Structure 1
Amino acid sequence: MNAYDPADNLIPLSEADKGESDLMVVHEGAKLIGQAATPEIAITSLLRLMSQMLGLNRGRVLLPTASGNDLQIRYSYGLTDDERERGAYALGEGVSGKVMKTGQVAVIQNIDEEPLYLYRAVERSTLPQEIVAYIAVPVLDGETPIGVLAIHRLRKRRRALNSDVVVMRIMATFIAQMLKINALIEDRTANLRAENRELKDALSKRRHSHGILGESPALHQALQQALQVADTPVTVLLSGESGTGKEKFSHMMHLNSSRKNEAFLAINCAAIPEQLLESELFGHERGAFTGATAMKKGKVELASGGTLFLDEIGDLNLELQSKLLRVLEGNVIQRVGGVKDVPVDVRIIAATHKNLQQAVNEGRFRLDLFYRLNVFPLNLPPLRERNGDIGLLARHLLLSANKEYGRNVVLAQGVMERLQSFSWPGNIRQLENVIKRAILISQNGQVGTAEIESILQQESHISSHVEAGQSASADMTPTYSGAGQPQPGYPHPHSGQPVYHNPAFSPAPNSPSYPGASGQDANGFPASGYNTPRPYSWVREDEAETLLEALRMAGGNKTRAGLSLGLTPRQFRYRMQKLGLEGKA
C-alpha cells in the first residue's frame, strides 16, 4: 500500500479556502442527517454532497453481510447497480476488506501502483486515465469497525489528501450514528411488529372469549368448561383468587348465551353496606323505610330475562341468603316493604374467593343455597399457573396503558423474562398495576430492568396472603377432637349434618363472656364502644328464651341486648322476628 505524504500536493488550496469549504460540507451533512427519513436517503445525500463540493467521487459505504464474514456495498453515489453488486469483499481482502479488519485509514495515492487494489467494483477503463487516488476510512461504533466509507478522487486536484481524510472521518461518524439509530429503531419496530402479530393472533383465536387473553392449557380448560354451559340456564359458581377475571368470565358466558341481547348486571356483595344490600338486590316499595319516596326495582328484577353476576357471594348474610334461595327455587322475589311476589327470570352466576364449604360447616352459609349455586363449579387458574400467558397479557396491558397515558413506552431486554418469573399473588390486577406504574416512572421511553426490579421488590412484600374478611388461621379441613367427634360447627363425618353449639350463643373469639366479664359495665352490658358481633349462624327455636332474657336485662333496649349476645342490632331484630317474639318483648 502506498505511503501517504500529506505534503505531496501540486497546487494546494489556501488554508482559509480549505477551512471554509470543509465547514460548509460538515454543516450541510449535519442538516441532511437531521432531515432525512431513512438511512438510504441520508447516506446517499452525504455521498452526493462530497462528490459535488469536494470532488470525492463514486462514494460508497460497505457494510457486513448477514453472515458477518463479507463486506458488500450497501449505499453509493455514482455507481451502477452492477458495480454495487460486484462490490463484495471478504474481511481482509483488498483495500476495503483490510480497512474493515484493522480499523485503520487507507490512502492509496495511485491505484495503478497498489497491489491490494482489486478493480472489482469499478473497472479501470471506467475511471479517468489520469492518476486516480482511493481513500477508505472505517465507520466506527466506539472502537469497533462496523463498515467502510470509500471514495475515488483525482490525485492532482487542488486539495490536500489529508483534508479529505478529515472530512471523511467526520462523515463516517455521521454515518455510524445514523446506522446505530436505525438499528435501534429496526429492533424496536421488529419487536412491536412481533408483539402486535402475537396479540392479533390471540385476539383472533379468542373472539368467542370476549377479551379473555391467554393460550395456556389451564386457561384453555377453564374457557372450554365455561363455554360448555354458557347457553344453558344452569347456575355457575366461579371460584379462584382475587384478580383472576371472574367478572370477565361471567360476562363472556352471558354473551355466548341466548340471553346475550338482554341485560347483564353485576353487583359486588362485599362492596355495599349490609343495610343497603337487600334493597339493592331486591328493590323496595314506596314508604318501606325513611327516604323510600318511590318504588325501586332491585338488580334481580332489572336483570330479569338476562344474567345477574353476584361477586363475593360468600359475604351475604343469612337473611339475604334465604331470599336468594327463593329466587333460585321459585323465580320470585319480594321487594323490601312489599307483600306481593314478583316473578323474575334471571340466570345467576356467582363468584367467591372464599371456601364456601368451610363457611357451610361453620354455619355461616346455608347448605341448601350452596347446593343451588354449586350446580356447575368452575375454578379459575391463578396467573402463576398460566404458563406463557404473562408475556401476552403484559404486552396487551402495555399497549392499553400507553394509549391511556398518551405514552409510547417499550420494555427493555430482560424485563419480560423478569415479569414471567414473578409469582403474581394479585394475579392480572397486580400485573396491570405494575405495568402502569412502570410506564409512569420510565425514562427515555423505555422500562428498564432496574425500574421493574424496584417495583417487583416493593410488590414482593405481598406473597401468600389472607383475603380481606378471612381469618389467617382458617383451614379448609374440619378439625376433630381426640375422641373422634367433630368439633362444634363442623359436619359429622358420617351424617354430613352440622353439629351446633349448645347453649344457643357463645362469645365471639377472644371476646369477654357474658355476663360479668371485662368489657362490660356494672349492669353486665357491653361498655361504651364495646362491640364484638358474632358470626352469623342459623336461627333455632331454643334461642328464644336467651333473646328475651337479654332484652329484659337491657331494659327493652334491643341494641344493647343484641350487643350483650355478640349480635349486631340487625341480627338481634331478625331473630326476634323469625321466632315471633316481637309482641312478647
Structure 2
Amino acid sequence: MTISIKPTTTTNADEDVELLIIYEASRLMTHNGTADEAINGILRLMSQMIGLNRGRVTLKDDDMDTLSIRYSYGLTPPERARGHYVIGEGVTGRVMQTRQVAVVQNIDDEPVYLTRAVERGTLPQETVAFLAVPILYNNTPLGVLGAHRLRGRKRPFSRDINLLQVLATLIAQILSLSRLIEEKTALLADENRALKQALDQKTEGTHGILGESPALRHALRQALHVSPTQATVLLTGESGTGKERFARLVHITSQLRDGPFMAINCAAIPEALLESELFGHEKGAFTGAVVKKQGIIELANNGTLFLDEIGDLALDLQSKLLHVLEKRAIKRVGGTQDIPVNVRIIAATHKNLQKAVNEGQFRIDLFYRLNVFPIHLPPLRERGGDVSHLARHFLQRANHEFDRNTVFGPGVLERLDGYNWPGNIRQLENIVKRAVLIAQNREITIDDVILILQHESHIGEHLEAGSTKSVAPIEPPSLPSKSHQPTQRGYGWVRADETQGLLDALRQTGGNKTRAAMTLGMTPRQFRYRLERLGLLAQ
C-alpha cells in the first residue's frame, strides 16, 4: 500500500475541472439542503467529472471502534451494507487509524485491500486503483473518503489525492454543521415540548419533570391520580430521583394549590432544633426563645407540607408527627394548647421504612399513616431514553447560566445514556454543567464525558473495598458468603443483574477490560472488582 506520491505536471484542463468541482461542492455545502444531499452531490461530482468512481464516506460509529459507509455514489444498498470495518482493518481502517493518505495502485496486488464492500467481479477488468484520505475536523478523525479509479487514466494520482483532501475538508465542515443543527433542533424541540406542557396544568412539564419512559409515566399517572384527594402520600426511591418535584406536582394539581407549599429535610437539621422548626415554640420555652415562633407545620396551614427524608426523624418526633396526622393539631414547644391545622402531608425517603419498622427504628403506626398512597420514583437507569431529554435540558440551562453556546459532540448522548447513574438526576445535571465548563471549541466531546465519569467513579471507589454502611454486595453464586458485615460500594452496589452488561462490554471491546470499563463509565479497578465478585474472570 503506497502512502506517498511523486508530484507530476498538470494541464490547464485539470485545473479547470478541479476548480469547477470545488466550486460546485462549496455551493452544495452552502445550499439549504441536507447533509445527505450535499455529500452525495460531492461524490457524484467526483464520479462524473474526473472518474473517481464508487466514492464512499465511511464514518466512525458512535461510541465504537468501527466504521460504516454512510454516504456513497455508485454503490448498491447491499454493497453499502457490507461496508463495515474495525479501525485499523483494511485500507479504510488504516487510514482512519494513521490519519495518512493511502494509494493502492492495483487492488489485486494489495493484500491489505479487503474487497469487502464491492466484489472484484463487479469492477472493470482493467487495473483498478483505490484512493483514500482521512476526514479530519479540528485534527480529529471523523472518517475516511475513498474512491476507485482506473490506473491507466492519464490524470496523475497526485492531483486526485489533492482534490480528495480538499473535498474531505468540505465534508468535515458539512458533518460538523449538520451535528450542530441537529443539536440546536433537539434543544428547540425540547423547549417547544416544555412550553406545550406548560400550557396544561395537568402535565408534568409545568413542574420541571421531564421524560417519556414508561416507568416515569407510571409514577406521574399515580401522582396525578391521587392529587385531587386529601390522602397522605409517601414518595420512595433513591436520592436524586426528584421527590420534591413530585411533591410540588401533587400540591399544584390538588385542591390546596392556592395554599402554601412548605418543605423541610428532616435529615438536614440537627435533632435539637428540628422540633422547634416543625412545631414552633412559645416565648421563653427555652434559652434563646425570646419571641414566639410558628413552626413549618403551622405555616403550611391550608396547604401542603413536604417532609423529605422522613426515615431520619427521631422516635420522639415521630410520635408528635403521628399526633398531627391523627388530631389535625399541633402543640408548640413550651405550649399547652393544641392549635388546629389543615395540612396535607407528603413524605419522602430513600430508606426502606418497612425494614426500619422491623428494626425498631420507625413507628409502625406512623408508617401506616404515611403509607396511605405510596409512589415509587424510578432511578434514572430504569428510565430508558430519558437521559437524552434531561441532558439536553440541563445543557440549555447550563449554557444560559454560564453564557455559553455549547453542544454535545458525536456519541456523547449515547455514552451518557449507557451510564449507571447512581446519583440519578442530580448527578446528571452536575456532570452536564461540568462538561459545559471544560468544553473546548463549543463542543462537549466524548473524551470530556469519559474523563468526568471516571472522576465520578473515583469519588466512591474506596468504599468498594469495604465500609460499614448500607447493603452488602452480592457474592458470586459458587462461593459462600465471606461476611455478613454490610458494605457499600460508591455509586451502585454490585448486583447479579450486572452480569450481562459486563459480558456485553467485554465482547464489544474484544476482551479489553480497560476499554470495556470505559464504555460503562467505570475505572478498570471497579470493572475488575465486579468481574471478581460475580465470578466472571474465568469467562
In structure 2, relative to structure 1, the CA distance for the partners of 1:144 and 1:253 (3 Å cut) is closer
Tell me which of 174, 179, 189 is aligned to 2:181: 189
Give the Å deviation of 1:236: 0.4
Q: Is the 8 A contact 1:394 1:435 kept in 2?
A: yes
The answer for the alignment partner of 1:278 in structure 2 is 275
Matches within 5 A, 1:149-548: 180-181=172-173, 183-198=175-190, 200-201=192-193, 204-205=196-197, 207=200, 208-209=203-204, 210-461=207-458, 462=460, 471-472=469-470
The answer for the alignment partner of 2:71 in structure 1 is none
Q: Is the 8 A contact 1:203 1:211 kept in 2?
A: no
Separation in structure 1 between the aligned mates of residue 235 and residue 439 of structure 2, nearest angstrom? 37
Q: Is the 8 A contact 1:425 1:463 kept in 2?
A: no
Give the Å deviation of 1:285: 0.8
1:200 counterpart SS class = helix
After superposition, the CA RMSD in angstroms is 4.2
The answer for the alignment partner of 1:111 in structure 2 is none
Q: Is the 8 A contact 1:65 1:71 kept in 2?
A: no
Give the Å deviation of 1:237: 0.6
Q: Is the 8 A contact 2:190 2:393 kept in 1?
A: no
Tell me which of 68, 76, 80 is aligned to 2:40: 68
Q: Is the 8 A contact 1:240 1:382 kept in 2?
A: yes
2:294 counterpart SS class = coil
1:151-185 deviations in Å (ceiling 9; x for gaps)? xxxxxxxxxxxxxxx9xx99999998677535522
1:51-91 deviations in Å (ceiling 9; x for gaps)? xxxxxxxxxxxx9956837878xxxxxxxxxxxxxxxx7x5
Separation in structure 1 between the aligned mates of residue 362 and residue 472 of structure 2, nearest angstrom? 15
1:307 counterpart SS class = strand
Give the Å deviation of 1:449: 1.6
Counterpart of 2:243, as a letter, is K
2:320 counterpart SS class = helix
The answer for the alignment partner of 1:13 in structure 2 is none
In structure 2, relative to structure 1, the CA distance for the partners of 1:237 and 1:141 (3 Å cut) is closer
1:252-281 deviations in Å (ceiling 9; x for gaps)? 110101111110010000100111101101
Q: Is the 8 A contact 1:239 1:379 kept in 2?
A: yes
2:264 counterpart SS class = strand
TM-score, length-scaled by structure 2: 0.57
Q: Is the 8 A contact 2:145 2:168 kept in 1?
A: no
Q: Is the 8 A contact 1:71 1:97 kept in 2?
A: no
In structure 2, relative to structure 1, the CA distance for the partners of 1:65 and 1:316 (3 Å cut) is closer
Q: Is the 8 A contact 1:425 1:464 kept in 2?
A: no
TM-score, length-scaled by structure 1: 0.53
Q: Is the 8 A contact 1:64 1:70 kept in 2?
A: no
1:207-252 deviations in Å (ceiling 9; x for gaps)? 5212100111000000000110011110001111100110000001
Counterpart of 2:179, as a letter, is D
Count of residue pairs the alignment pairs up: 353
Separation in structure 1 between the aligned mates of residue 11 and residue 322 of structure 2, nearest angstrom? 104
The answer for the alignment partner of 1:558 in structure 2 is none
Separation in structure 2 between the aligned mates of residue 258 and residue 377 of structure 1, nearest angstrom? 20
Gaps of 5+ in 2: 1-7, 13-22, 56-132, 136-143, 148-158, 474-539
2:470 counterpart SS class = coil
In structure 2, relative to structure 1, the CA distance for the partners of 1:6 and 1:375 (3 Å cut) is closer
In structure 2, relative to structure 1, the CA distance for the partners of 1:332 and 1:299 (3 Å cut) is same
Give the Å deviation of 1:463: 8.3
1:23-77 deviations in Å (ceiling 9; x for gaps)? xxxxxxxxxx9xxxxx669999xxxxxxxxxxxxxxxxxx9956837878xxxxx
